[in-house]
Amino acid sequence: MSETAGTPCVLLCVTGCIAAYKSCETARCLQRAGARVKVLMTEHATHFVGPTTFRALTHEKVAVGLFDDPEDPIHHISLAQEADVVLVAPATANILAKMAHGIADDLMSTTLLATKAPIVVAPAMNVGMWEADATQENVRTLQRRGVHVITPDSGYLACGDVGGGRLPDPWRVADLALMAAGEAGPLAGEHVLITAGGTHEPIDPVRFIGNRSSGKMGAALARAASRQGANVTLVLGPASIEPPAGVRCVRVETAAEMLAASEEAFEDATIAICAAAVADYTPAKPADHKLKKTEERLDTVELTETVDILAALSARKGERTVIGFAAETSNVVDYALAKLSRKGCDAIVANDVSREDSGFGTDTNKAWWIDADGTHEMPCMSKEGLAYEILRRATKS
């Protein structure tokens, strides 16, 4: 799934729907997450996107017909057995009906019937077809059998109608498929609490004290944990990032709100990772109106210290694992060692935010893992890759 995780095999099943073109981007999203992607198409799907496109994207053979691979006379069985997760995106009303009623009359339907892997379907069709009683009953049947059904988005459809039936964004479909693949993963049964982003401490209704945190590292941790089977709560401060699909996200603004949300989620958590850049101080008496330059209070804003979330969780962690972050611009390791001793957590991830390739807003991080066993320097890597490495060390897996 990343530089430091296993590589799942995703069988992407593409059916005959105008949304089939989105499956190209879904394949790319899966690949960017580290998955190996194999594509199975219905014959009707080839009228919307050619197999050559998927061969070029995946560097794998593309399966279409039951007998189109002379080297594999029982192709539907080999495909069914090789997949770690099967993703049907887009899923037409026809394939949903076949799955619900056990019909196996082509390569895709026979493979879906034969596989033991988790199945995720992302329906896409006209709103009338989606809302039809027959389709809804088929969806309920599949859900009772354990099939993961991604509810389609609403909006303007290709046919000109407006309503439900749009295939969701490819990144969201890919995230949910990889979550299903990780249900029996190394973090199955764990509840991981992650804080991310910065906080906004109000001076008045317009101004605030904040920082440059983008929330990217926390989102990467949430995504990596959920893909490995964990139940994840992401407490997210002000940030422009989209939380990973399938993750419970609690949005907050201030340090006080983040503390309250974190303490509530910590009740059921087994692992807490405090990746947020929480403000150390907050205005003692925020104004209820926009302050003017002529007002003395704008020249001298009285500050009060915020509650330390990492220390608060560490103080009552018991058998739970609590990991903190230290964003530094100098003496990175020394400051992180002092923070580890002061906070009482199990480990600190220290990162150098003075580097151009590390820290706030970047897609990569240079970090050190610091715990009771010593200091372990890690190479500069993608935040996605670092997330898997942090989780591996946190669980000693």
pLDDT for residue 193 is more than 60: yes
- Domains of the chain and any CATH numbers: 9-181 (3.40.50.1950), 191-395 (3.40.50.10300)
Catalytic residues: 159
Q: What's the Rg (C-alpha) of the chain?
A: 24
pLDDT of 258-290, one tens digit each? 999 999 999 999 999 999 999 999 999 998 989
Compute φ and ψ for 295, nearest 5 degrees: -80, 135
pLDDT at 397: 55
pLDDT for residue 336 is more than 90: yes
pLDDT of 154-175, one tens digit each? 887 777 777 888 999 999 999 9
Chain centre to alpha carbon of residue 226: 7
Between 73-77, 274-278, 302-306, the lowest mean confidence (pLDDT) is in 73-77
pLDDT for residue 136 is more than 50: yes
Task: Evaluate the CA torsion angle 87, 93, 99, 104 in order and state its sign.
Answer: negative
pLDDT at 3: 40
Between 206-215, 249-258, 313-322, the lowest mean confidence (pLDDT) is in 206-215
Average pLDDT, the chain: 91
This prediction has a pTM of 0.80
User: Strands 148-149, 119-123: parallel, antiparallel or unpaired by DSSP?
Assistant: parallel
Question: What value does the mean pLDDT take over residues 64-71?
Answer: 73
Contact 83, 49 (CB under 8 A): no
pLDDT confidence bin for 4, thresholds 50/70/90: very low
Q: CA angle 24-17-63, nearest 5°?
A: 60
pLDDT for residue 70 is more than 90: no
pLDDT of 37-56, one tens digit each? 999 999 999 999 999 999 99
Helix residue ranges, H only, the chain: 22-32, 51-58, 75-82, 93-101, 107-114, 127-131, 133-144, 170-181, 216-227, 255-266, 296-299, 309-315, 332-343, 383-395
